[in-house]
Amino acid sequence: MLHFFEVLGVWLAALFTFAIYSFLYKDNPFYKVAEQIFVGLSAGYWFIYTVYSILIPNLFLPLSEDFTGNWIKMIPAVLGIMMLLRLIPSIDWVSRYPVAFVIGTTSGVFFLRYLKSDVINQMTATMINPFTGGDWVVVIGQLLLVVGTITGVIYFYFSKKHEGAFGVTAKIGIYFLMVSFGAAFGYTAMARISLLIGRLQFLLGDWLGIIGH
Amino acid sequence: MKRQIPLIITFLVGFIVIFSEFIPQRFFGQISSTLEEWFLIISGFAIILGQLSLFKVNFLKIKFKQPNWPYYIVTLISFVVMVGFGAFWGTETSSGFLGDGAKIVATLGDKPFDYLFHNVYQHLSATMFSLLAFFIASAAYRAFIARNVESNLLLIAAVLVMLGNTSLGSALTGWLPESLKFLHLPRISEFIMKYPNTAGQRAIMIGAGLGLIGSSLRIILGIERSYLGGK
Amino acid sequence: MSAHKQIDRRWIFLLIFICVALPLIFVIGLPIETTENSRLVYDLVQNTPPGSKVILSFDYDPGSKPELHPMATAVMKNCLERNVKVIITALWPMGVQMAEEIHEELKTEYPQMEYGVDYVNLGFKAGGMVTVQAMGKSFRTIFPTDLNGTSINELPIMNGVKNFDNIAFVCSFSAGDPGIKQWVQITHDTFGKPVTGGVTGVSAPAVLPYVNEQQQLTGLLAGLKGAAEYEFMVKKPGTATSGMDAQSIAHLLIIIFIAIGNINYWRNKKKEAKGGE
């Protein structure tokens, strides 16, 4: 029996794989059904894991085991329930309170972290002497890094019209951005092909048994 | 009250989180930690809200017989089945209302929740994203045209990175002598990623970072209020 | 290019399918070359003293499994073989199951390794950046129990782990947000601990600026190639290595498509110019 369900599992997986791939030929009911099963199962998974991984260990267990020591957790619990009231249109304004809390915390943390990591540290990492550190390839690279970052940032400054010397600098910035997008396309192609490889490794290996892992 | 109190909450919470970073008082640190812990719990409820909301939207689509409504029945059934399996017999590591379902595990080899995850969900998800492999190939054929300097740069960078990122790139230029090793395709690809790509991405990162900082301040100070909704 | 001259894209789909499938069946065995970023990740693991504790964060789902799972497996096994204790966390709920799959492998491959002593799975927590920040202040507040519901105080591996001060480094296998960015911003930039990891090919270019002189990120494994490089360095060829031939051929095919697309474009442009005269 166990073996039967193992084999059934592999066949189910293969059938659903083909149901999704059938979209490549044209949209059809098999694809649509598979797509909706995907959405439903995904939502169910999130639901269950949120309850088991967050709400039970971080809220229900502390409250049920030692209420007096953890009564303060009633505040996020109430805010959480207020969040769920968004589903009832007549009183959905109640959910603004927890949303305000979430947005306030996120904004505070984002302000601090992005300032340091994505602005200050990135600028510091660009303030290098390009002429140090090794052979001519590295020197050219570091020059490109400094020039590219500065001109790229200038390109994103839209409060001044891109003309004259400013416009030329912004144009150089675009060239660097284009190289970035090209590189990003190269990596994206690699990523998508990798996912297809993963699927074919399953179909040819686990399902058909033509290749070993 | 419906708008003022949320604005005050946002201001106070944002203010405390930022200032606790600069004031080495333990008291502020503790408040900030407590707020972060609450955030986790409220995030949990937010996820539940998301899933229930999906249920509601699909239910309404069926109720009002919107186009393709029978397919949304499949969505609801899948959702209910997954939640039901998880609630009754738990997951690989958690018990459900009815315990661990030893008999079912002996038959299926897994708990029903995990059986569905491993044999259905996992493959649907992986296949869904792998579809993009086909479309990116087709897009390469149709859209990657060298029309001007910008598109040439885009195209050349893409081709060099694609070649350099495979074993084929190593094989094609592996014969180059040491003095010309900088022309070795994997090295060219590494060079592009390390310098011009990093420069472009860093410019985007700094720009987006500044934007986020500005938005955060506008939200905390109550200038930006769109998150409170229309009414 | 006029519409009627374009070939039916389903032929392109079929060609891609065949070009990926054939090298998987008939292995060519093209060489794998390591890059500096992958070596940095490897060196960080190798230079971590045995007995240290590290966090491996599984921030991905089955949608990115072919790219990230091989590197997560290789890094985790590498850590355990060096007696580096592994604490597993997940910022994505499905990351938990991904880690559990490796756990199943470990049970048979390394029977001497003990759950709770050599490695532990603490499970998923929502909240992204805010939660990682809270973790850095107090691990116990965010993770009162492990995935099985065992109190963190009863797990030997968690003895003495109060916050990021007691961790050697964090390694995130990240398919997007939340993921490696949050670990860099909090664990390295706020708490000063090394962060490394692996990302999908899609996110690699945007994450690379963190690999800099400030070492916001110590190396990076990028996509299937990064995974194959790590498998090569630890001498444990797996699914990433076996997929590299197919990857190479598919890239070549895409480049050929780009070339044909351009030739057609220029040919049509010439024709149009002639017709216009």
Phi/psi of residue B180, nearest 5 degrees: -110, 15
pLDDT computed for residue C276 by the predictor? 60
Q: Where is pLDDT greater, at B167 or B156?
A: B156
> Tokens 């690989």 appear where?
B92
Which region holds residue A22: left if phi is over 0, alpha if psi is between -120 and 50, else beta?
alpha
Tell which residue, C71, C68, C83, C69, has the closest CA to residue C168. Answer: C83
Q: Where is pLDDT greater, at A43 or C271?
A: A43
Of A56, A184, A204, the CB nearest to C21: A204
Contacts of C143 in chain A (CB under 8 A): 57
Q: Could you tell me if C69 lies within 8 Å of chain B, comparing CB atoms?
A: no
> Tokens 């203010």 appear where?
B15
Contacts of B142 in chain C (CB under 8 A): 1, 6, 261
Span A95-137, pLDDT tens digits? 999 999 999 999 999 999 999 999 999 999 999 988 887 789 9
Identify whether the C-beta of residue C184 lies closer than 8 Å to the C-beta of residue C214: no
Read off the pLDDT of each residue in B30-36 and give the average, rounded to a whole number.
Answer: 91
Q: E strand or H helix at C222, and its extent?
A: strand C221-222
Span C49-85, pLDDT tens digits? 999 999 999 999 999 999 999 999 999 999 999 999 9
Contacts of C253 in chain B (CB under 8 A): 137
Does residue B209 surpass a pLDDT of 60?
yes
Euclidean distance between CA atoms C174 and C171, whole angstroms = 9
The conformation of residue C221, written as its DSSP 8-state character, comes to: E
B contact chains, 3+ CB pairs < 8 A: A, C
Identify whether the C-beta of residue A36 lies closer than 8 Å to the C-beta of residue B72: yes
Read off the pLDDT of each residue in B116-137 and give the average, rounded to a whole number.
Answer: 95
- Give this prediction's pTM: 0.94
> Tokens 């031939």 appear where?
C245
At CA C57, angle to CA C207 and CA A43, rounded to 5?
A: 95
Does residue A1 surpass a pLDDT of 50?
yes
Does residue B1 surpass a pLDDT of 80?
no
Contacts of A49 in chain C (CB under 8 A): 93, 96, 124
Q: E strand or H helix at B9, and its extent?
A: helix B4-22
What residue type is B197 in one-letter code?
N
The two structure tokens encoding residue B62: 């069926």
Tell which residue, C101, C42, C102, has the closest CA to residue C232. Answer: C42
Mutate to test the interface with C, among B13, B113, B152, B168 (most CBs of C within 10 A): B168
| HEC secondary structure over A153-181 | HHHCCCCCCCCHHHHHHHHHHHHHHHHHH
Euclidean distance between CA atoms A117 and C68, whole angstroms = 25
The two structure tokens encoding residue B159: 């081709």
Identify whether the C-beta of residue C133 lies closer than 8 Å to the C-beta of residue B21: no
Tell which residue, B180, A114, A101, A146, has the closest CA to residue C190. Answer: A114
A contact chains, 3+ CB pairs < 8 A: B, C
Cis preceding linkage at C178, omega within 30: yes
Identify whether the C-beta of residue C57 lies closer than 8 Å to the C-beta of residue C195: no
Collapsing DSSP states into helix, strand and coil, what is residue A207?
A: helix
pLDDT computed for residue A160 by the predictor? 87
Name the minimum distance, in Å, from the CA of A112 to any CA of chain C: 10
Q: Could you tell me if C9 lies within 8 Å of chain B, comparing CB atoms?
A: yes
Collapsing DSSP states into helix, strand and coil, what is residue A28?
A: coil
How many CB contacts within 8 angstroms connect chain A with chain C? 152
Euclidean distance between CA atoms A40 and A36, whole angstroms = 6
> Tokens 């909450």 appear where?
B9
Euclidean distance between CA atoms A107 and B97, whole angstroms = 39
Q: E strand or H helix at B130, and its extent?
A: helix B122-143
Euclidean distance between CA atoms C183 and C193, whole angstroms = 10
pLDDT computed for residue B154 by the predictor? 94
Identify whether the C-beta of residue A213 lies closer than 8 Å to the C-beta of residue A197: no
Q: Give the Å distances, CA to CA, from A10 to A13, A206, B117, C232, C271.
A: 5, 7, 12, 30, 53
Euclidean distance between CA atoms B164 and B158, whole angstroms = 10
Of C25, C147, C214, the CB nearest to A204: C25
Q: Which residues of C97-115 are buried (b: 16+ CB within 10 A; e: fewer)?
A: bbbbbbbeebeeeeeebeb
Q: Which residues of chain C have pLDDT under 70?
A: 1-6, 276-277
Please report the residues numbered 64 through 93 in chain A whose beta carbons come closer than 8 angstroms to any beta carbon of chain C: none
Does residue B63 surpass a pLDDT of 50?
yes
pLDDT computed for residue B130 by the predictor? 95
Would the CB atoms of B126 and C250 count as touching at under 8 Å?
A: no
The two structure tokens encoding residue B68: 């393709």
Residue A158's pLDDT band, with cuts at 50, 70 and 90, is: confident
Q: What is the mean pLDDT of chain A?
A: 94
Read off the pLDDT of each residue in B223-230 and give the average, rounded to a whole number.
Answer: 84
Q: E strand or H helix at C199, and its extent?
A: strand C195-199
Read off the pLDDT of each residue in B176-183 and give the average, rounded to a whole number.
Answer: 87
Compute how many other C-beta atoms are within 10 angstroms of the C-beta atom of residue B65. Answer: 8
Mutate to test the interface with A, among C60, C65, C67, C193 (most CBs of A within 10 A): C67
Does residue A40 surpass a pLDDT of 50?
yes
Euclidean distance between CA atoms C191 and C164, whole angstroms = 7
Residue A88's pLDDT band, with cuts at 50, 70 and 90, is: very high
Please report the residues numbered 125 through 144 in chain A whose beta carbons come closer than 8 angstroms to any beta carbon of chain C: 125, 128
> Could you report how far apart the first and last alpha carbons of chain C are, in Å?
19
| HEC secondary structure over C138-163 | CHHHHCCECCCCCEHHHCHHHCCCCC
Which region holds residue A38: left if phi is over 0, alpha if psi is between -120 and 50, else beta?
alpha
The conformation of residue C59, written as its DSSP 8-state character, comes to: E
Euclidean distance between CA atoms C36 and A141, whole angstroms = 15
pLDDT computed for residue C6 by the predictor? 66
Would the CB atoms of B48 and A47 count as touching at under 8 Å?
A: yes
Does residue B169 surpass a pLDDT of 50?
yes
Which DSSP string corresponds to B45-94? HHHHHHHHHHHHHHHHHHHTT-TTHHHHHHHHHHHHHHHHHHHHH-BTTB
Closest A-chain CA to B33: A105
Name the minimum distance, in Å, from the CA of B9 to any CA of chain C: 17
Span A48-77, pLDDT tens digits? 999 999 999 999 999 999 999 999 999 999
Collapsing DSSP states into helix, strand and coil, what is residue C216?
A: coil
Would the CB atoms of A193 and C250 count as touching at under 8 Å?
A: yes
User: Residue C226 contacts by C-beta under 8 Å, 6 or more apart in sequence?
Assistant: C35, C37, C38, C71, C198, C204, C220
